Chains A and B, each alone.
Chain A
């Protein structure tokens, strides 16, 4: 990790005064909203099957309070 940090810190040598960060390649991208559709029950079953712990229609999560 230390070697990795030492390596990436070399980037400070590049002169970037006045350069704008490149955050996205295309300026024409738009957020796409999916239709508000009801999913079939099968999908819920699949999601619950992937949960570490579940009970009936619920994912069991560790107690927080």
Chain B
């Protein structure tokens, strides 16, 4: 399975060269063989997946169209609801929570023939960039097991990298699809805010959260995006019902496109090999007819601060529902209602989640609201205006995804440093823009490097085209 793209596989399934059940069995065997080492999955959908494979095969054999993802095994981050499967969000709080309905993206995947193979590991409630904050243990990088896969969608990345599935869904609140994609040598897309329905996604920071596809190739990601996108009456922030065929425009190239590279992103702590990859990517774009120029983007150093203030504030509100009353974990150790709330919170959430909720409550509290939360919303506008100004002149912005190309599992990285490492990814969330991470080059240890291409809202077609070109030239 490791060399097959989704499109090739769908073609082989349709021609009868591959039986759907065999493909699913292959994934399950890979999971059984490898997941004790990698820990990519929290739960599996084994029996349902085999049953669905048999049903889809029967429909196909009867001459029916089973959809553009017909028979493709897909893994789902464990904060997206799949009816009848557990949704833990990587937390003890939801250890036994059984999803009563499916997210819109799941319905869309299934309507198009995809087979849900299981739910993947993640940082608890998507708060983290290592997948080490999961209650269910850390996930390992598929390229080198001594390294983290990134996060928070680390399980979704590792599942693809180890051939336990073909594509996966993650969620991206501040880089949680793009950063693990970069660390694991995969393609990861954060669509424009509103492009993909959030109905059935457990909320972290509602004004930033966006579900995004991950895959081995730009083509796989484009195809999955085509399936999951679209307006949904169950998510009032979802936008137009665009009918797009991204696959047909992938090879259009970048001739005439204007690409900006922010000078501010080449900070002293940016690893040399990543700097080199971005410069090489710029050369490839230039050699293929794009006009590449350096640009200045103001206030970038404050983007991470604004992001964390707003994200934690929204998280403190969203996670207040996990109080031990209606669903989820409830402490057994209490004598009063107040004590039940307190102990449920302390026992049910991990340290990182408690820290972010506390920070959120602090920045929203009387006397600190204006100084922090309101200020952050104003800084968000300044950053958005700055990018809007650039997007009047430029089609794309090219940048690194991460400051380093790998972090060892054994490294005890300071949490503030980890937050600051989100410098390149958070702007897309603050402004709602689409951004993709595509592998381009490797460091001296053979770890993959990702470069990021960001575009204005709803410019997925253009960023996919540029990413497709870089993918073809990767390693030249």
Instruction: Report the interface size for chain A: residues with CB under 8 A from the other chain.
Output: 39
Determine if B236 and A25 form an interchain contact, defined as CB atoms under 8 angstroms apart.
no
Interface string of A1-41 (1 = CB under 8 A from B): 10111011111111010011111111001111010000000
Nearest A residue to B207 via CB reads A24
B49 to chain A, nearest CB (A): 21
Determine if A22 and B416 form an interchain contact, defined as CB atoms under 8 angstroms apart.
no
B332 to chain A, nearest CB (A): 9
Binds A, one of B15-23, B54-62, B278-286, B305-313: B305-313
Residues of A within 8 A of B420 (CB): 7
Determine if A52 and B324 form an interchain contact, defined as CB atoms under 8 angstroms apart.
yes
Q: Give Cα A49 to B96, complex, Å.
A: 9
Q: Give Cα A3 to B377, complex, Å.
A: 22
Q: Which single member of A12, A30, A34, A53 contacts B375 (CB below 8 Å)?
A: A12
Determine if A5 and B362 form an interchain contact, defined as CB atoms under 8 angstroms apart.
yes
Q: Give Cα A20 to B381, complex, Å.
A: 7
Nearest B residue to A23 via CB reads B377
B306 to chain A, nearest CB (A): 6
A2 to chain B, nearest CB (A): 10
Q: B interface, how many residues as a size bin?
A: 35 or more
Nearest A residue to B381 via CB reads A22
Determine if B328 and A8 form an interchain contact, defined as CB atoms under 8 angstroms apart.
no
Determine if B326 and A26 form an interchain contact, defined as CB atoms under 8 angstroms apart.
no
Residues of A within 8 A of B306 (CB): 11
Q: Give Cα A23 to B414, complex, Å.
A: 30
Determine if B330 and A53 form an interchain contact, defined as CB atoms under 8 angstroms apart.
yes
Residues of A within 8 A of B415 (CB): 3-4
Determine if B355 and A14 form an interchain contact, defined as CB atoms under 8 angstroms apart.
no
Determine if B381 and A19 form an interchain contact, defined as CB atoms under 8 angstroms apart.
yes
Residues of A within 8 A of B384 (CB): 22, 25
Determine if A22 and B334 form an interchain contact, defined as CB atoms under 8 angstroms apart.
no
Q: Does B432 contact A (CB under 8 A)?
A: yes
Nearest A residue to B359 via CB reads A4
Interface string of B341-353 (1 = CB under 8 A from A): 0000000000000
Q: A31-B236, A52-B329 are in contact. Are A47 and B376 (CB under 8 A)?
A: no
Residues of B within 8 A of A32 (CB): 233-234, 236
Determine if A10 and B359 form an interchain contact, defined as CB atoms under 8 angstroms apart.
no
Determine if A1 and B375 form an interchain contact, defined as CB atoms under 8 angstroms apart.
no
Known: A1-B355, A11-B372. 12 other contacts (CB 8 A): A4-B355, A5-B362, A7-B419, A14-B382, A20-B381, A22-B378, A25-B193, A25-B431, A32-B233, A50-B327, A62-B325, A62-B337
What is A's interface to B at a CB cutoff of 8 Å? 1, 3-5, 7-14, 16, 19-26, 29-32, 34, 43, 46-47, 49-53, 59, 61-64
24 contacts across the A-B interface (CB closer than 8 A): A1-B358, A3-B416, A4-B308, A4-B359, A5-B359, A11-B372, A22-B378, A22-B384, A25-B193, A25-B207, A32-B234, A46-B98, A46-B100, A47-B100, A47-B327, A50-B97, A52-B325, A52-B327, A52-B328, A52-B330, A59-B325, A62-B325, A62-B334, A62-B337
What is B's interface to A at a CB cutoff of 8 Å? 96-98, 100-101, 193-194, 207, 233-234, 236-237, 239, 299, 302, 305-306, 308-309, 324-330, 334, 336-337, 340, 355, 358-359, 362-363, 371-372, 374-382, 384, 414-416, 419-420, 431-432, 457
